[in-house]
Structure 1
Amino acid sequence: MPDTWLNKINWSEDGLVPVIAQEAESGKVLMFAWMNREALRLTVEKREAIYWSRSRKRLWHKGEESGHIQKIKAIYLDCDEDVLLLIVEQIGGIACHTGRHNCFFQKLEADEWIIAAPIIKDPEKIYSK
């Protein structure tokens, strides 16, 4: 398949696009990450989420260490063509490196950030490889 479909995306100056991962079954937003062209091309090809890690400066196959991969169900591009939405099946029920179901577990209540979701599995047990 030619990669011309990648040209429709309004990539940032550094060649990235923001990506939201949403769980297909529950509709919950699991996480936010970035992709470059190669990450998106590989995500489409493998049907598993592959992101660009800005901190590591490399491709990051979600679940490569934890086993908590994201199987792609659908990919959407927003109206401004500068944000992607991945509809995923979250394997293992954990999307966050903190061992929680999703990365949005801190809720603002009365000018304080409250932890609103439990740790499902100790991250030290997840990343002990």
Structure 2
Amino acid sequence: MTGVSSSPPPATGPATVPPLDPALAARLKRTDTGLVCAVVQQHDTREVLMVAWMDDEALASTLATGRATYYSRSRRSLWRKGDTSGHVQWVKRVSLDCDGDALLVEVDQVGAACHTGDRTCFDASPLPVRVGSRAEA
């Protein structure tokens, strides 16, 4: 048969995301490797779920798509939360701290946030803290 191919069509990658707004990029204070710390919190309960890292591309993707995207320091690549696990983070709000060196990412977490399968990465036993009294002023 002429004009008919038995091979599948080429795979399409993720949608192209516009670069990070230059005004926002100028406000970021990145590590030496170009990363910003992202503290991830459940939007309605305020539960801290995890801490991750973002580069400019991950932040731009997160803001443009509403899906949390991070930078993996060990794999040296982007990863979108939930693509392999199904435990998606739908982004409700992203805030930059006063110093520009950390982000608060408020999400609606579907399933576990931690790679161990726990709801949060902070489910382990709390560390002992010596409780003292405040000095009287």
Note whether the superposition's TM-score is higher than 0.5.
yes
Residue number in structure 2 paired with 1:104: 122
CA RMSD of aligned residues (A): 1.6
Structure 1 residue 110: Cα displacement: 5.0
More strand by share: 1
1-structure distance, mates of 2:95, 2:118: 25
What corresponds to 2:73 in structure 1? 54
Tell me, in whole angstroms, the C-alpha distance in 1 between the residues paired with 2:29 and 2:39. Answer: 16
Give per-residue Cα distances to partners, 1:48-106, cap 9 Å, x unaligned.
100000011100101111111111100011111100000000012x1011111000011
How many residue pairs are counted as aligned between the two chains? 110
Unaligned runs of 5+ in 2: 1-17, 130-137
Q: How big is each residue's C-alpha offset from its partner over 1:35-59, in whole Å with a ceiling of 9 and x where there is no partner? A: 0000000000111100000011100
1:7 equivalent to 2:26? Answer yes
Unaligned residue ranges in structure 1 (runs of 5+): 112-129
SS of the aligned residue for 1:107 comes to: coil
Structure 1 SS opposite 2:85 = coil
Aligned to 2:100: 81
| Structure 1 moving runs of 4+ over 3 Å | 108-111
Secondary structure of 2:126's aligned partner: strand
> CA separation in 1, counterparts of 2:128 and 2:107?
33
Using structure 1 for the length normalisation, give the TM-score. 0.80
TM-score computed with the length of structure 2 as normaliser: 0.75
Query: SS in structure 2 opposite 1:106?
Result: coil
Paired with 1:110 and 1:62, the residues of 2 have a C-alpha distance of: 31
Correspondent of 2:37 among 18, 40, 61: 18
